Structure 1
């Protein structure tokens, strides 16, 4: 796991076809105590993934993850400042390779209104289903690591 300073240095080294992003692995406990993961649907193809996006100038990856979680899914909570892990992916419509620094986010609030409510679907998945249904292989690997955490 990288701290925020290491993340900032890595972000500076990515250029051209490599794009740095931050993502939020949003989780909560269900009524029966099971761990649930929040997914958002891709605007392009509807595949399930986590809220993620570009890190703005002078923004930490954890702050970007929290911002993206609200913009795309309307959730807020406690974000872990330490990077939980990384995954990379490519979009069907772009030559770029996206590198996502993933932060855990314990959801405590869900907003009725948020910027992308009308253009994104959101759904809570039991952890095992999330591992199966995640669009990116690297995200599936990270989700399988969550099973071993005491969250």
Structure 2
């Protein structure tokens, strides 16, 4: 199981924006995600990934908004389908440097632009659900 953060903020100009990062291998727009660290709750692991991959910190919900699947290429070249739980995270701080800053790009997008930017249909559905539940999340 993996976990992902849905980093978001309220922008005066664009309303709610979501932060996406590029994947390392294919340069696709994705959420910051990774393996759930042993002994760490999934939502805390997602917050850690948001810092490592996107350089953001904030308040993350312990309740996941949805699950999607993605194809993970292992170090040995084998491909494996993995489930990812996505947790909303209100961003409080955006750092100028972070661990993976030279490996990924990050971009704030309106929620509708983010939905259109991701290629994974299940991730798109999770973002649509997040958009529908925003009044309850924000």
TM-score (norm 2): 0.91
| CA deviation profile, 1:54-82 (whole Å, cap 9, x unmatched) | 01110110110000000000000000011
Which has the higher mean CA deviation after the structures are superposed, 55-64 or 83-92?
83-92
Tell me the residue number matched to 1:142: 126
1:38 aligns with 2:23: no
- Alignment correspondent of 1:51: 32
Instruction: Give 1:101-140 correspondences, 5 Å limit.
Output: 101-140=85-124
**CA distance in structure 2 between the aligned counterparts of 1:45 and 1:33, rounded to whole angstroms:** 28
Q: Which has the larger radius of gyration?
A: 1
Gaps of 5+ in 1: 1-19
Distance in 2, matches of 1:97 and 1:62, equals 20
Number of aligned pairs?
132
Determine if contact 2:65/2:85 at 8 Å carries over to the other structure. Answer: yes
Cα 1:135/1:113, change in 2 over 3 Å = same
Calculate the TM-score normalised by the size of structure 1.
0.83
Q: Is the 8 A contact 2:4 2:33 kept in 1?
A: yes
Give 1:64's match in structure 2, choosing from 17, 28, 45.
45
1 or 2, which has the higher strand percentage? 2
1:24-72 deviation line (CA, Å, top 9, x unaligned): 0110111225110100001001000100000111011011000000000
Q: Work out which of the residue numbers 85, 96, 103 in structure 1 matches 2:80.
A: 96
Q: Could you tell me whether the CA contact under 8 Å between 2:65 and 2:130 is conserved in 1?
A: no
